[in-house]
Amino acid sequence: MKVWVDAERCQGHTLCSMIAPDSFALSDIDGSASAVSEVVPEDQLDQVREAAQSCPEQAIILTD
């Protein structure tokens, strides 16, 4: 699975990094998120899915 964050949608709520801290990095400037790696490691799939579902702005995009 691959993940990316739509920078135009992300509002810096930081939920993704709280749920999946190894998969998302936050900007020091505005708190917006970005994926640490485009390819999600097997052991982080559940957390990344939960982060995507929890994003208030639906800014996290998952693809197979």
CA–CA dist 55, 18 (Å, integer): 11
Question: What pTM was estimated for this model as a whole?
Answer: 0.92
The amino acid sitting at 44 is: Q
Token readout for 40 is 């999600």
Query: Under a CB-based contact definition with an 8 Å cutoff, are residues 38 and 4 in contact?
Result: yes
The stretch 42-61 carries a mean pLDDT of 98
CA–CA dist 28, 48 (Å, integer): 21
Q: What is the pLDDT of residue 28?
A: 95
Token readout for 56 is 């208030």
Q: What is the pLDDT of residue 14?
A: 96
CA–CA dist 46, 62 (Å, integer): 12
